[in-house]
Structure 1
Amino acid sequence: MATVVAISGSPSPTSTSQALLRHVELRLEVAGHTVVTIHPRDLPADALLAGDSSDPQIAAAVAAVASADGIVVSTPVFKASFSGLLKTFLDLLPQFALAGRPVLPLVTGGSPAHVLVLDYALRPVLQSMGAAPVAAGWFVSSAQLRRYEDGGLVLDPAAAGPVADVTDGFLALLDGRPAPALPAPRVDRARVSPVAGAADLRVLLVGPDDPRLAGLLADLKVEYITRYAAYTPETTLVEVPPADFVRPRGTFVLLAEGDEIIAGGAIRRYDPRTAEVKRVWTSLKHRRRGLAVRLMAQLEKAAADLGYERVHLTTGPRQPEAKELYLAADYLPRFDLDAEPESVGAHAFGKELVPGAGLVAWPPVPGTDPHAAQPVPVGAAR
């Protein structure tokens, strides 16, 4: 596997530019590559400004670039160009320091008016240093980024798809494969049927060791770690044993269009009468086709086929689109919808598959049956 050096041109450790770079680093890491990050802001200021390559920290940074198989460069826009901090670091490097290596440029800015900084300011500098090639990069506006104080980041779908595309193109270049010059265009594909079992998609019921799960699980890890800025059992998908997703206790449900897996999820046993939904995912390339609604219908069907009478699930406070999906799919919230999401923590929902089966209370009331129907908190009903 390759070693990639990521260079952050942000002067702030808490910037959206830094968070976006970390998101891309995660995509490279889950693909099996090693990522070494250089923060010029942390290098000795006097040596950096003086171009003193004899300084040990400066020398180590220059050597890291020289030994890398590929480079990722991220920068915010300042004064209609890339950051002076990044320029200062690049000036330290030999003239053709990037020769023969692919480089992925990423730019963030306050306005789409700065989009040309990528191709008319940063790209020529990288090309002059011998980058071969400079991969198709991407500009992300501040309106498409929501950063949390702990470093978590939520990317707007309009940016998440293209960022994934250019990262995939960079990965192809690292592997010696050709990559498109630009992200694949977003085409309007037909919406899928919301009805479970409809013939427009193939439904695959697979176990946790099926190789077709690789893309789903990799995307979920990147998404969760990016949003919550943490490596926890939940964000790294090890909070429950894989055996929980083996029939007859559970299963993975994949939706395929032709040979392409475009959505998926899983169910596991929560209690003898209740299935828990996990690992809900739709491909970034196939959003806004109704896939999530169809997937929930297929998961509910799979749960009913395994004998479950109701469904329980939770989602996190930084996944508002998931919350809206479950509400639209007639799941009953077990929390106050009017409360601040971060104060709620895990957002729990329940749904009856068999009328009268009752819903899972969350959290359980001490001394009561945790699976008996409980009143919805005041203000939660919609």
Structure 2
Amino acid sequence: MRVQVVIIGGGPSGLLLGQLLHQKGIDTLVLERKTRDYVLGRIRAGVLEVGFVNLMREAGVAKRMERESFIHGGTVISYEDMQFGINFEALTGNHVVVYGQTEVTRDLYDARAAVGAKTVFKADHVEIHGADSDAPHVTYQVDGTEHRVDCDYVAGCDGFHGISRQAIPLTVRREYEKVYPFGWLGILSETPPVNDELIYAGSDRGFALCSMRNANLSRYYIQCSLSDHAEDWTDAAFWQELKRRIPAEAAERLVTGPSIEKSIAPLRSFVCEPMRWGRLFLCGDAAHIVPPTGAKGLNTAASDIHYLYHALVQVYETDETEGIDRYSEKALARVWKTQRFSWWMTTLLHRFPHQSEFDLKVQKAEIAFLRDSRDAQTVLAQNYVGLPY
């Protein structure tokens, strides 16, 4: 088999790239290690930047998102006795959209199937060959039978644990990492959201986040120890702890119920440089991870897709290689800015082991400065709604 672009990874970033390229008549094959049902069963973020929404529109898959999503024009920050709102629309003229990543992925799978684009599920033992040559190819197995695909380019959209990054020699790639000394315990519940906007809460007991997926599906998180296990936390214990960390009036109106999903995610900042080796391009979690504070993970993957999509269209339509030659440079410039923002939001609102009284006073002063400074709020809002591509 031969296609123009092999996309390794059938998550939202790989599917979005495939759909965008299809719109331009560029043939792709998506290889996914798991089943479609498994991919759609993963619970992920749901805050989308303006740039991501625009890419969905350009890919022709935005109708259900526009019909069912929630527009959020701001957010609430609380810290001990302080509580204030940040109005994204007033400060930047933009907003974010709340629409679950699972629904984004479902829309993209449906669109790919509707146009007959090729997707292989349960693709095992995927290997990239000749990425640094003019004739790369990819091999994979399905049910023990090996297949080969010749291609022009390979897009590695297979996540942090995928094979794409490992295909870049250690002599070429450099990795930067910061591991945070806590995790997030998250639950999904069929309850109405506690607030119209997200609540980011810092307290002497640790961080909490109140989010949502729709009018009767809420997503809540609390900072927890890395030694904790999800099964250690009963639903009752979670709700009690959440109420202790969020503003009192929110705690009073919080509607609780059985969790339908409960998990603990460790927090990590990670970047791999470069994001291109020959004809292999890394996108999304294959190249970088951010802590979820600030909702930049999926959105930063979307910016990678923007740069790679336009670079591939340029080379196929004009034979110009400026886009692919500068892909890593452009993508990394934005990646490091989102890394900075996610790191800052995390340090702003979480409790760290061994924080001194001085550290806590400075943290509280930082929150107070944010509350009192329109300029500081503007910087947060600009980053939250999404930096330009």
Same fold (TM over 0.5): no
* Higher RCO (C-alpha 8 Å, min separation 6): 2
Report the structure number with the largest CA radius of gyration.
Answer: 1
TM-score, L = length of structure 1: 0.24
Higher helix share: 2
Higher strand share: 2
TM-score, L = length of structure 2: 0.24
